[in-house]
């Protein structure tokens, strides 16, 4: 009984956690400037000042956008001295790792089939070899 309830609780927490993450991500991505900022950070890290200049915005306006992206886990920031540097968050890296894993699985399935084709070729050659010897 306890175990069953425990499972549901964990599952619920997971669902709530992911739902919140998805909501935050969608909200973050619903804005063209914020999508532009992500694209920009995909090329290189940048300070908030750099980003404000690039997107012709005030520092305060850019800080707000970066804040939303940070909340969604899409961007992380680090303050060194007077400069706050922004870079792509871990979420982006996790997505990349997930993509590479699915790419690996695709090739794994393909190569399993290739193994079969080569096995068949080997078998045929053995048979042909035997015929030729006769």
Partner 1 sequence: MDATRKNEPTPMKHRTTAERKSERELVVTRTINGSARLVFEAWTRPELFKQWWVPKSFGLSLLSFDADVRVGGRYRLVFSREGSEPVAFYGRYLEVTPHSRLVWTNEEGDDGGAVTTVTFEEKGGKTLLVMHDLYPSKEALDDAIASGSTSGFSETFDQLEELLITLGASVGRS
Binding-site ranges for partner 1 (CB under 8 A): 8, 11-12, 15, 18-19, 22, 42-43, 95-96, 98-104, 106-119, 121-122, 125
Q: Which is nearer to partner 1, 59 or 106 (CB)?
A: 106
Q: How far is the CB of 4 from partner 1 (least distance, A)?
A: 10
Q: How far is the CB of 62 from partner 1 (least distance, A)?
A: 22
Q: How far is the CB of 32 from partner 1 (least distance, A)?
A: 16
Q: Which is nearer to partner 1, 82 or 132 (CB)?
A: 132
Tokens describing residue 15:
């669902």
Q: Which is nearer to partner 1, 53 or 119 (CB)?
A: 119
Q: How far apart are CA 18 and CA 64, in angstroms?
A: 23
């Amino acid at each position: 009984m306890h175990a069953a309830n425990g499972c549901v609780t964990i599952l619920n927490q997971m669902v709530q956690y992911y739902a919140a993450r998805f909501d935050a991500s969608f909200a973050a991505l619903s804005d063209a400037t914020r999508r532009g900022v992500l694209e920009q950070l995909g090329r290189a890290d940048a300070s908030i000042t750099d980003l404000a200049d690039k997107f012709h915005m005030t520092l305060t306006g850019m800080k707000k956008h970066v804040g939303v992206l940070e909340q969604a886990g899409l961007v992380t920031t680090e303050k060194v001295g007077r400069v706050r540097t922004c870079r792509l968050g871990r979420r982006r890296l996790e997505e990349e790792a997930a993509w590479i894993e699915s790419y690996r699985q695709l090739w794994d399935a393909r190569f399993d089939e290739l193994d079969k084709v080569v096995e068949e070729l080997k078998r045929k050659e053995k048979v042909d070899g035997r015929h030729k010897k006769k």
